[in-house]
Amino acid sequence: MIAPLSYYLILSAVLFSIGVVGVLVRRNPLVMFMSIELMLNAANLTFVAFSRYFNTIQGQIVVFFILTIAAAEVVVGLAIIVSIFRSKATIDVDQVASLKG
């Protein structure tokens, strides 16, 4: 039996919400970033589910692009985090707060 569309939509909505909450409550940039990836993948799941539902390929092509964008973000993000860690030896966002006002 093929799971109906709504199952995928509910799952992706749950994943997206977990991602949003994760970004808002966690203070470690790596964990925050993983939560963001969760949001992106929730969107990917939605795209693929609808793509299958409409029987068009458009949504699946979109996922290719989002994957690439996410990879580029990962690399730039990790590079920034590594370079902060090198100069500060911590990456907790509450510690990284010389800019306040």
Binding site for other proteins (CB under 8 A): 9, 12, 16, 19-20, 23, 29, 32-33, 36, 39-40, 42-44, 46-47, 49-50, 53-54, 56, 58-59, 61-62, 64-69, 71-84, 86-88, 93, 96-101
Q: Which residue number, 2 or 13, has a Cβ lying nearer to other proteins?
A: 13
Q: In the complex, what is the shortest distance from the CB of residue 4 to other proteins, in angstroms, rounded to a whole number?
A: 14
Please report where in the chains the tokens 């993983």 appear, as a residue: 34
How many other CB atoms are there within 10 angstroms of residue 73's CB atom? 14
Q: E strand or H helix at 34, and its extent? A: helix 29-54
Give CA separation, 46 vs 12, 17, 24, 26, 77, in Å. Answer: 6, 13, 22, 25, 25
Q: In the complex, what is the shortest distance from the CB of residue 48 to other proteins, in angstroms, rounded to a whole number?
A: 9
